[in-house]
């Protein structure tokens, strides 16, 4: 049910946002993600903010629900 209800929203994410979402769901810190992707910590934080806005969530748990439902973890 979650998949059907949220597929359209999830489909709007860019490939980079999906990658960031996957790492966030695995509890990696922004600095760790930045190092893995060779981007700045500020960029990771911007992606996190954009993900929360696009997905309409406010907690890390809710972000991880999306990652789990769409097989990113």
Q: What is the per-residue pLDDT for 2?
A: 85
Q: What is the pLDDT of residues 16-31, one digit of tens each?
A: 999 999 999 999 999 9
65 Cβ contact partners less than 8 Å away, ≥ 6 residues apart: 2, 57
pTM: 0.88
**What sign results for the dihedral spanned by CA atoms 67, 68, 69, 71?**
positive
13 Cβ contact partners less than 8 Å away, ≥ 6 residues apart: 21, 51, 54, 55
Q: What is the pLDDT of residues 32-69, one digit of tens each?
A: 999 999 999 999 999 999 999 999 999 988 988 889 88
């Amino acid at each position: 049910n979650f998949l059907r209800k949220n597929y359209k929203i999830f489909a709007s994410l860019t490939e980079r946002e999906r990658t960031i979402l996957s790492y966030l769901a695995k509890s990696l810190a922004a600095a760790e993600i930045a190092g893995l992707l060779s981007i700045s910590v500020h960029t990771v934080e911007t992606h996190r903010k954009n993900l929360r806005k696009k997905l309409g969530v406010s907690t890390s748990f809710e972000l991880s629900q999306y990652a789990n439902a769409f097989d990113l973890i």
